[in-house]
A and B are shown apart, each in its own frame.
Chain A
Amino acid sequence: MSNTSENPNPSSSSAKITLKTSDNELFEVEEAVAMKFCTVKQYFEDEKDNDVAARGSSTVIPLPNVHSAVLARLISYCKKLPQSNAVADNHEEEETKKKERKQYGTPGDLVDLISAANYLDFKEGLEFFNQALADHIQNKSVEYVRKFFGIKGDFEPHEEEKYREEYAWAFEGVDED
């Protein structure tokens, strides 16, 4: 915990903030990146008010709900944020964005990222990962989505059939799995 290097000038833009994850790993991130997480920002500001220059940049902010693997991905996402969050205005751009979102892969990872982004109050990240998750539901059949996310269909067969009949329009034009 005490292995963080002393920063001679904490107010400069390159100031580092140390985050501690649920599995007790320490992450040293740039202040600009850390401030994207509103929860961290809030904590940091409170800390600043209480105890000004006493500890400075070496404050460790605990994040008991975030796993180190998840935080690492969030930080790497944060660093390339500016270009990836602009609204796509043409089809081609939308396609490249889709590919970019696909890199965040498996549903479990996405759910972790979303929970962490929600906990950290990281708005852009939350939007991005929500969209990534939505991509996996788009144009997919109910069976595919259930399998992909491990959702157990707990409706009675006759209930489900009735529902499908009633809203037949919603079950048309689905991609092949």
Chain B
Amino acid sequence: MAKRQTNLAKIVHPSSKIQTKSYKNMLYSLLIFTASNIQRTNLSQDRLSDLPDEILVSILSLLKLEERQRTSILSRRLQPVWEKFKCHEISIADFRTALSSERSEFISYSLESLTDLSLTNVEVTGEVLEYVLSNCPFIEILHVEASRLLALCQAKAFKDKYTQYLEHIQIHAINLVSFEYFGCETTRILLGDVPNFVSLSVMGGYFGYLFKNGCPISHYFSQLETLELLILVSQKNFMIVNYIYIIIFLILIMFVYKCAIFSWFNFSEIFEVPKLPKLRNLRLLKLDIHRLSWMAFFVALPFLRHSLCCKELCSSITPLLLPCDSFVAR
């Protein structure tokens, strides 16, 4: 609650506020300030309405939806305050109530200026998201976490985490810039026309699917500027022996980068590592490999070969006994 308030309560120094107001208002606020001390014993006076709008809004933000609605009938002075109320954060309870039709009209006041929406443990359906998006013209970031239902979205950035049972994600958003996904490979992800899409972040099981033929996301590889991959390899594969591969891995990186001498030796065919489309525009490649093993090693290699124009490569391998666990090439 405290956090919400800090967002809302834009505390304005009275003297600085006066400058922005009209002359009439200026006189009015001066009158209030001088009068407030004289009249302070007179309790029957309506003092609440004298408070500046910023304060009234922050008080309203502490109330429940119903109460806020009730306050707008208190007086004509207090009604416009609510109309002006730009909501930065809506509680889930509010959100749920917003979905019942009689209240949805009301909550749309608050949604108008929303730029960042995070839904955690909410069973969002495509319908709900569509509703939100059609009512939030300024939404920039939509974050869905631990949801089990279908999602359809058109925000600039879409973050999705732990959607284990998600079957289908369809994104039609011309302005989509970044997409983050942490989920399993059974999910089908479809991106529509996304000319500005430059940043992809994939974690978990979906990684495996990403490089299989026919994965729709791979069409966008050529336009990607940032690619982040978190590769998780199960712990049983991790043995002391693997440290040998770490060393080989590092040597190979040197080779691949310096002279591409290994191009004749096609790892992809031998180890069934899928072919990658060229990552022509890639500027930043982040590989985060947990528990380096055979698999991670050969998975990572094609990236190094195919993103030679990559300006920065960040790779962290955990755990790693070597002195440097992250390095930047070029």
Chain A residues engaging chain B, CB cutoff 8 angstroms: 22-23, 39, 65, 67, 69-70, 87, 106-108, 111-112, 114-115, 118-119, 121, 123, 126-127, 130-131, 133-134, 137-139, 142, 145-146, 149-155, 160, 163-164, 167, 169-173
- Cross-chain pairs A/B with CB under 8 angstroms, 20 sampled: A22-B37, A65-B14, A65-B36, A67-B37, A87-B2, A106-B43, A107-B43, A111-B50, A114-B55, A118-B52, A126-B9, A126-B55, A131-B1, A138-B63, A138-B64, A150-B45, A153-B74, A155-B76, A167-B106, A171-B70
Decide if B175 is an interface residue (CB 8 Å cutoff).
Answer: no
What is the minimal beta-carbon distance from B238 to any residue of chain A, in angstroms? 39
Chain B contact-residue range equals 35 or more
Which positions 7-54 of chain B face chain A at CB distance < 8 Å? 9, 11-14, 33, 36-37, 40-52, 54
Assess whether B62 is in contact with A130, with CB atoms less than 8 Å apart: yes
Residue of B nearest to A122 (CB): B11
Tell me which residues across on chain A come within 8 A of B13, comparing CB atoms.
39, 119, 121
Residue of A nearest to B68 (CB): A170
Assess whether B106 is in contact with A107, with CB atoms less than 8 Å apart: no
**Given that A131-B62, A170-B69 are known contacts, is A118 also in contact with B14, CB under 8 Å in the complex?**
yes
Residue of B nearest to A85 (CB): B2
What would 13 more interface pairs be, CB under 8 Å, given A149-B47, A151-B74, A151-B78? A65-B33, A112-B36, A114-B55, A115-B36, A121-B13, A127-B6, A137-B67, A150-B44, A150-B46, A154-B76, A155-B76, A169-B102, A169-B103
Which positions 43-98 of chain B face chain A at CB distance < 8 Å? 43-52, 54-55, 58-59, 62-67, 69-71, 73-78
Assess whether A138 is in contact with B67, with CB atoms less than 8 Å apart: yes
Instruction: Kindly state the separation between the CA atoms of A106 and B62 in the bound complex, as whole angstroms.
Output: 19
What is the minimal beta-carbon distance from B17 to any residue of chain A, in angstroms? 10
Partner of A169 from B6, B40, B66 at Cβ < 8 Å: B66
**Given that A87-B1, A126-B9, A137-B63 are known contacts, is A145 also in contact with B45, CB under 8 Å in the complex?**
no
Decide if B110 is an interface residue (CB 8 Å cutoff).
Answer: no
What is the minimal beta-carbon distance from A163 to any residue of chain B, in angstroms? 5
Decide if B5 is an interface residue (CB 8 Å cutoff).
Answer: yes
Instruction: Kindly state the separation between the CA atoms of A69 and B62 in the bound complex, as whole angstroms.
Output: 27
Encoded as 1 (CB less than 8 Å from any A CB) or 0, chain B from 297 to 315 comes to: 0000000000000000000
Partner of B75 from A108, A127, A139, A153 at Cβ < 8 Å: A153
